[in-house]
Structures are given as C-alpha cells and as structure tokens.
Amino acid sequence: MRHIISILMENEAGALSRVAGLFSARGYNIESLTVAATEDESLSRMTLVTRGTDEVIEQITKQLNKLIDVVKLMDMHEGPHIEREMMLIKVRAAGPAREEVKRLADIFRGRIIDVSDTTYTIEVTGTSEKLDAFVGAIIRTDIIEVVRSGVTGIARGERALHL
C-alpha cells in the first residue's frame, strides 16, 4: 500500500543522504521525496511516499526513527490528511489546440503562468491522481516538459507533526 511519511529532522548537512541511504541499503522504494526547512530553521521537514506491506512500512518507520537526526515522524495514513502535489507542465499550444488546452486547464483549476506564441506553461495543484489525470487528458505529443514537486501532506484537524 502507498504511504506518505512526514519526517521532522535536524537541519544538518547530510540529513537527506541518511534517509536516502537507509532506503537504498534496506531495499525500500521511494516514489517521491521532498525536503525543505520549516518555520524553525533548525528543522527540515521531509515528505516521502513509499509503498510496501504493513510489515515493511512498520520497519521503514522504525528504521527512520532510529536515525539520530530524525526528531519525529508521522505516517499520514494513520488518520485523515490532505495531500498536495504541484506540477508545472509546458504544452504545445498553437492553432486550434490553443483553446482546447486553455479549457482543460480551467477544468482542472490550473493556472497558465507563462505564454508564448506556441506554448502554454500551466501550474496544476492537487493530489497525485489529479495531476496524473491532467497529464492523461493532454495529447501525449503536445507535452513538452513536466515538472512535479513530489507529494507533501498535512494531517487534518488538531493532529499535527510538530515539536
């Protein structure tokens, strides 16, 4: 099953490689990984998406917790949560396709953030499935470039990952 794991880590050099190294050394897979500082500059927040049986996910969270730089972590799937991913997609937009792409972007609540004679660059935000659906809706040969931020997530309500 797919899990989103959020990690608060000491904002130290090499912290990212400790997590990445753990995953490669133990043969776990990472579907996406994002990391940035938080409002507290001494902490980084990492969000990673992984897949595995319950036993594997249990081992992953235990092994992550064992890393000395990991302060706290949360498996988003233990409660209600919101996930978001952001995508920038550059598509060919010339002739009749130009209107069609604009309409599609509107349907997906995307925003056109750059325009040229022949292209649109669109920003779409949502769950990974929504971004997949948008990519699927555009004619394959019209896609010039896709950039995805990787998944971030946050728990709903009072539940939170903080010190």
- Of 1 and 94, nearer to other proteins (C-beta) is 1
- Of 6 and 119, nearer to other proteins (C-beta) is 6
Min dist CB 21 to other proteins, Å, is 5
- Of 39 and 117, nearer to other proteins (C-beta) is 39
Min dist CB 18 to other proteins, Å, is 7
Q: Are 131 and 66 in contact (CB under 8 A)?
A: no
Residues in the chain, total: 163
Cα–chain center distance at 88: 13
Min dist CB 69 to other proteins, Å, is 6
The residue to which tokens 């794991």 are assigned? 5
Which residues are at the interface with other proteins (CB under 8 A)?
9-10, 13-14, 17-18, 21, 25, 55, 58-59, 62-63, 65-66, 68-71, 163
Min dist CB 17 to other proteins, Å, is 7
Q: Positive or negative CA dihedral for 85, 86, 88, 92?
A: positive
HSE-up of 7 (CA within 13 Å, CB side)?
A: 28
- Of 9 and 93, nearer to other proteins (C-beta) is 9
Maximum Cα–Cα distance across the chain: 57
